[in-house]
Structure 1
C-alpha cells in the first residue's frame, strides 16, 4: 500500500490517496478535479509504475470533490469500477447536484443560519471561483452499504458506514497482513510493534477513514453536507463506532496516519462536548443566530470555512434544540435550560490505559 499525498488549495489541503497493488489495482479516494492536483496524482501513481488506465477499482470514502473529483476521469481511461456508499452515490454519478452548490438551497441555508449579506456574497464568490469542474466527470458507480465487502483479489475491504461529515461517509476496514507492500502497525504473534497490549491476540485490523477521523483537526459537521439530519448526533454515534471497532491504525483522507484511532475518536467526542458548552456560554448573553454563534466560536472566516463555520454552529444548536435545552424563534436560539448536563447529550466511551476500547 502506498500513500500519495496531494496538494489542494481549494479545500483543506494535503489530501491522501492510497494505492493498493492487489490482483485489482485499487485507489482509495482520488482528488479534486483541478489541473495541478490531477498532475500530482498522475506523478504519484507513475512513481509506482501505474497510470490512470491501469486502475481497476476506485473506492471512495465519500462524495466530496477533494476525494471523488477524479473518479470519473480515471474510470474513463481504464474502465475502473467505482464504489461509494449508496447515500453519496447520486452525487458521484450525477443524479443529484451538491446542495450547497445550488443557489436556491444556499439562500434557504443562509436564511436559516442568519448569514449577513456580505458573508453570503463572499461565499457565493468562492463557489463561483471554484466552479463546477472541481466535481469532475460523472462516474458509473457501484453503490455499497454498511457491512458489505469489496474483493480486490487477495485484499478484502469491509464497508463501515460513519455518517456525519457526509450522509454516506464510510471507512473501509482491512487485515493489513493481506496488503502487499504494507507493514502492519501491529504485527501478529512475535515481532508485534506499536500498540502492543495484553489484548493483541486478536487479528490486526486497520481502516481507511476518509474524513470521519482526522489527525490534526475535527471534521466539519452541519455545513459539509446539509442533507444530513441531526448531523452532530449522527457523527457522535460514528465516533463511538470507531472506538468500538478498535482499529490498530486509521489511514485518513488528509495528512498522516493515526496510530491510536480509538483514542483520537474519544478526543473528538470530548471536543464536541466542550464546543457544546461554549455554545451554551454564547447564548447566556441572550438569543443568537447560527451565524452569530459561529462568529463567537471561530471569528472571521474565509473560503469554504464561511460555509463550515455557521454549519457547525447550526449542528450544535440543532442538537441542543432537540434536547430541549434551546428554543428557536425564527433564526435566533435562546436558552430555556441554562444548566443542562452536557455529558448526557452525548454517548460515552471507555478506554483502557493504552487507548483501547474497554
Structure 2
C-alpha cells in the first residue's frame, strides 16, 4: 500500500500487510499525517480489512516515514509494535529530548564541522513528532510473531543502527537498505564521532544481504524488483568508488580540510551551491560517514587538537 509522504520527493512509503490467523501484520506504517492515515485506511478497506484488525507492526527502522503511524495503528487495534533494539533505544532518546536541546545539538554539530555563518534554523528540518515507543524489540535472526509464517529478522545496520530487513520465504522486505534505483542516506551524527562507523556497517550489511541470494526485493520506496543480492553488490561498489574518490581528493588537497569543505568538494545529485541548507547538512553527514570509514581503514587521519575537526591524507 503506497502511503504518501507529504512534501517529500520520495512521494510515498510502501507499507506491506502479511496475512495471519490473528490478523494482518504490517511491515512499516508510514508518515504521521492525516493524508497518510487516510491512504492506509483506504488501502485496508480495498482488501476488505479494517485497521482495527491489525495484529502487529514491524518497523524496519525508526525514521518517521516508516514508524510515524505505528502508534496510531496501535491505538485503533491494540497491535504490538516491534523494531530492532538499537533503534528502540534511539526512540527512547528522541522522546526524552526537548526541542531546544535538539536545536543546540544541531548547532554545535554544524559548528564543529566548519559550517561557519550557517543559519541553523534553516539548516535543520522541522523536527517530526518522535515515533511511538515499541512494545517489543528484535535481534538478528529472530522469528517475528506472525502466526503461520516464518518471517525472520535480519539486522542490516547503516541507514540507522537498528535497520532491519525481513525474509519471508523467497522474498525480502528491504526497508530502505536496498532500493532499486536510489541509495539510502548513510550519515554519522554528530559528524565527528569516533566510536561508530555507520558506512562500514552498511557495507557489511550489503554483503549479508547479497548472501541471501537472488530473492525478490520488496522495498519501502520506489518499486518491487528481482535479485536483491545483485543490487546490494551494485550499491556496495558505488560506495567503494566514492571512498576511493574521497581519498584521492584529500591526497591532492595538500592540506587538512574540514568536513564542510570536503562535503562541498564532493559530487552530489546537484551542485553544492544549489543544495538547500538542510540538504547541505545531510550531505555533510554522508561525507562524514565516508571519512570515518577511511579513517577506520587507516587510509586517512584526523588532525588532533584542532577545532573544527579536520582530516588529511596520511602522507600530508
TM range (shorter): 0.7 to 0.9
- Residue 76 of structure 2 is matched in structure 1 by 77
Q: CA deviation at 1:11?
A: 6.6
Query: Which residue, out of 286, 295, 306, partners 2:264?
Result: 295
1:163 matches 2:157: yes
- Residue 236 of structure 2 is matched in structure 1 by 269
Q: Residues 86-165 of structure 1: matches in 2 within 5 Å?
A: 86-92=85-91, 96-97=95-96, 102-118=102-118, 120-124=120-124, 126-127=125-126, 131-133=127-129, 135-136=130-131, 138-165=132-159
Q: CA deviation at 1:253?
A: 1.2
State the Cα deviation string for residues 190-249 of structure 1 (Å, max 9, x = none).
Answer: xxxxxxxxxxxxxxx211110111111111111589798101110010001001111411
Change (3 A) 1:307 1:42: farther
Alpha-carbon distance in 2 for matches of 1:258, 1:290: 36
State the Cα deviation string for residues 164-214 of structure 1 (Å, max 9, x = none).
Answer: 110100111011xxxxxxxxxxxxxxxxxxxxxxxxxxxxx2111101111
TM-score of the superposed pair, with normalisation by structure 1: 0.77
Gaps of 5+ in 1: 176-204, 339-358
Change (3 A) 1:320 1:94: closer
Q: CA RMSD in A?
A: 2.6
TM-score of the superposed pair, with normalisation by structure 2: 0.86
Change (3 A) 1:139 1:321: closer
| Matched pairs, number | 301
Alpha-carbon distance in 1 for matches of 2:226, 2:236: 18
1:53 matches 2:52: yes
Q: Residues 181-192 of structure 1: matches in 2 within 5 Å?
A: none
Change (3 A) 1:315 1:119: farther
SS in 2 for 1:333: strand
- Residue 221 of structure 1 is matched in structure 2 by 186
Alpha-carbon distance in 2 for matches of 1:36, 1:278: 42
